[in-house]
Chains A and B, each alone.
Chain A
């Protein structure tokens, strides 16, 4: 489903060029469960942002389902994100003034799904992530684990093909982190393609396929 050919991403900082990605080649099949590990600053987030069309490579080609998405303009890329890609962030990124329900429904609002269907799907999603009684709470009234579950519920409510998670357990303790991992793995079991960036060896080891990044280079990692 994903093909990267010689993808590089360079940043210029104060006249100096930082190579965040160096000629990365990667193929990810539909339904894969991939973990991405590596030291801080090695380019993991940059790779995820490129895969999620939030960032454009400096060079190289990115084929998403056979289509060259680097050639798309910003609004076309937005459409791909809206229907096919979900994001989960370390810092949850819930909109603080919106209730859990409204946060989870946000992608359906952007996709202009009719109200009745929106309600139904949001309720089902809250139920599935154990948040049924939290729908009217604001994010700061939720625990960390609940917040991240709400964020995952939001990321998957449009039934995307690909879910990208950047250190989803990074702000959580071990126990709630495990909750979140189980939620993610259940989605993978249902057929979702999952790419998870993590620092947690145990979590990384659970993935079917393990990748390592080091100084912008990608290597297939052993267990």
Chain B
């Protein structure tokens, strides 16, 4: 029997039992769509998170006060503070030839007010280099000053803060009140900037010295360092540890985080999670495969006379096997195809509502789902097909 004839024979058999075929295809499609959707969700989340980290810049090194005691594993996001980092520490780090820029960051909250309008806002203290280190853009005006003016009472507004406190007017040159101090507005950030998860639209930026004065605290929350290039990052890490140790009486009481380490850790965690979720969903594919086996076993029993006839007409065992196995494979392939289409469609639909999840099921996920689905058809179709091929023609033809 030729391939095309086998296909036609199987297809006609499926068409003659429309309801049964539809239900099995549906089961297979749901299972396939489930696997691809879940792996797509996991993979999109992974891509989103690692994307956020690479948005930090591959040259970025972050210094946190406090030494993490853990060895290996994920870099700690919460370290115990043993000794504050200071602006002088940050200054000292610039001496390393591997370091291009350094920006200490001070964080606090304050009530910002202008005329009658006011709001609680996050205040970030930083220096002029933050603009370059975090690839920020200005909507208007200038960024924080450097050099001699580095402690001037000036501020740069996030886009939302500007809209709320200076509706319908250009804020440049106006004064913003934070707590009991006044700062002249010298610039406004473009919308959409983020820094380490902080939405910069919602902040007011001050020179670090001014922020420390405002919060009456000498501490530095983070020091952001830009290495001269990616290859210089390990050098930066060891230089930072040595410099800080020298300045902190031999204590290396800081934690140094690189974008690479963070990003690959999250990549690993989310990748493993995706595989686990996909694997669990794949169980439904196996269940669909067992359904296929069930209908094929019933089909062989119902079509005993047909098997006997085919044998009488001279079909060999391989042909009988191919005809029944082909039907199982066709069922699983149709279901799988429909499921892949649904999965793709659903990813585009979800993307409309959750734009950060990039649409498009990854090819490896579709490939794996197809292999498992058709593999299930093959695995669970083989036994019924062999059973059909082994039927005794005389018994199969008799109505006993």
- Give the B-binding residues of A (Cβ under 8 A): 49, 52, 54-55, 74-75, 78-83, 85, 87, 89, 91, 93, 95-98, 102, 106-107, 109-112, 154
User: Within the complex, what minimum Cβ distance (angstroms) separates B277 from chain A?
Assistant: 42
B305 touches A54 (CB 8 A): no
Taking the closest CB of chain B, its distance from the CB of A4, in whole angstroms, is 17
**Hey, what's the 0/1 contact readout for B310-321 against A, CB within 8 Å counting as 1?**
111111111100
Cβ–Cβ contact B13 & A110, under 8 A: no
| Cβ B314 vs Cβ A110 within 8 A | yes
Please name 20 further chain A to chain B contacts, defined as beta carbons within 8 Å, in addition to the given A55-B394, A107-B314, sorted by A numbering: A54-B394, A55-B393, A75-B316, A78-B314, A78-B315, A79-B314, A79-B316, A82-B313, A83-B314, A89-B397, A91-B399, A93-B305, A93-B309, A96-B16, A102-B12, A106-B310, A109-B1, A110-B310, A112-B1, A154-B313
In the bound complex, what is the Cα–Cα distance between A96 and B17 (angstroms)? 12
**B168 contacts chain A at the CB level, 8 A cutoff:** no
Q: How far is the CB of B206 from chain A (nearest CB, A)?
A: 81
8 cross-chain pairs, A with B, having the tightest CB-CB distances, nearest first: A82-B314, A97-B16, A81-B314, A78-B316, A75-B316, A87-B312, A93-B309, A54-B393
Taken together as a complex, chains A and B put the C-alpha atoms of A97 and B299 apart, in Å, by 13
CA distance A93 to B5 in the complex (A): 20
The contact sample of 7 A-B pairs, CB cut-off 8 A, is A75-B316, A82-B313, A87-B312, A106-B313, A107-B314, A109-B9, A110-B319
Closest to B12 in A: A97
- Is B229 positioned at the interface, with any CB of A under 8 Å from its CB? no
Q: Is B231 an interface residue (CB 8 A)?
A: no
- Please indicate the chain A residues that have their CB under 8 angstroms from the CB of B16 in the complex: 96-97
Residues of B participating in the A interface, judged by any CB pair closer than 8 Å = 1-2, 5, 9, 12-13, 15-16, 305-306, 308-319, 393-394, 397, 399
**What residues of chain A lie closer than 8 Å to B309, measured between beta carbons?**
93, 95
Least CB distance, B295 to chain A, in whole angstroms: 16
Q: Which residues of B contact A106 (CB under 8 A)?
A: 310, 313
Contacts of A82 in B (CB 8 A): 313-315
Instruction: For the complex formed, measure the closest distance between the CB of A10 and the CB atoms of chain B, giving whole angstroms.
Output: 14
Q: A110-B1, A110-B319 are in contact. Are A98 and B12 (CB under 8 A)?
A: yes
Interfacial chain B residues near A93, Cβ < 8 Å: 305, 308-309, 312, 397
Instruction: Tally the A-B contacts, defined by beta carbons under 8 Å.
Output: 68
Cα-based distance from A193 to B17 in the complex (angstroms): 39
CB distance from A45 to the nearest CB of B (A): 8
A74 — nearest CB in chain B belongs to which residue? B317
Given contacts A54-B393, A55-B394, A97-B16, contact A81 B317 (CB under 8 A): no
CA distance A49 to B311 in the complex (A): 12
Among residues of B, the one whose C-beta sits closest to the C-beta of A55 is B394
Which of chain B's residues have a CB closer than 8 A to the CB of A107? 313-314
Q: Are A78 and B5 in contact (CB under 8 A)?
A: no
Chain A nearest CB: distance from B395 CB in Å?
Answer: 10
Name the B residues within 8 Å of A52 (CB-CB): 312
B-side contacts of A102, CB under 8 Å: 12
Q: Are A95 and B306 interface neighbours, CB within 8 A?
A: yes
List, in ascending order, chain A residues with CB within 8 A of B306's CB: 95
A55 / chain B contacts, CB cutoff of 8 Å: 393-394
Known contacts A93-B305, A95-B309: A110-B399 contact under CB 8 Å = no
Chain B hits for A81, CB < 8 A:
311-314
**Which of chain B's residues have a CB closer than 8 A to the CB of A98?**
12
Q: In the bound complex, what is the Cα–Cα distance between A97 and B16 (angstroms)?
A: 6
Most buried by A among B5, B306, B313: B313
Contact partners of A49 in chain B: CB under 8 A: 394
Closest chain A residue, CB of each to CB of B398:
A45
Q: What's the nearest-Cβ distance from chain A to residue B371, in Å?
A: 31
* B164 to A: closest C-beta gap in Å: 72
B317 touches A111 (CB 8 A): no
Give which listed residue, B5, B312, B317, contacts A109 with CB less than 8 A.
B5
CB-CB nearest in chain B for A109:
B5
- Closest A residue to B309 by CB, please name it: A93
Knowing A89-B397, A93-B305, the reply to whether A78 touches B1 (Cβ < 8 A) is no
